[in-house]
Amino acid sequence: MDALEAIAARKSTRKYLPQPVEREKTAALVAAGKSAPKSGEFHITVVENKELLQEFNDKTLEALKNSENEYLKRRASLEGYQPLYG
């Protein structure tokens, strides 16, 4: 697959299965992310604990609602908006 085929075939996923991703697949995704081009410091964190992920989501949403950035405030005020897709 060349770069144009990869771009054309990419998908965005917003619905997830309830079972966890296998460790081998998670490791492969993290490795791919680490080798991806980036323009600054970059850190990947894998969170498997659903309660912790929900806490991150809630705190992120609250921070967006209190942001001085009007776009972020509007986005955070949308019904059902979740900054993290876990």
Q: What is the pLDDT of residues 36-55, one digit of tens each?
A: 888 888 889 999 898 999 99
Calpha distance 65→79 (Å, rounded): 12
Burial of 17 (0-12, 13-18, 19+ CB in 10 A): exposed
pLDDT at 74 over 60: yes
Task: Show me where the domains of the chain are located.
Answer: 3-35
The tokens for 40 are 């600054």
Calpha distance 31→25 (Å, rounded): 10
Calpha distance 4→17 (Å, rounded): 29
What is the reported pTM? 0.66
Helical (H) or strand (E) element with 25: helix 23-35
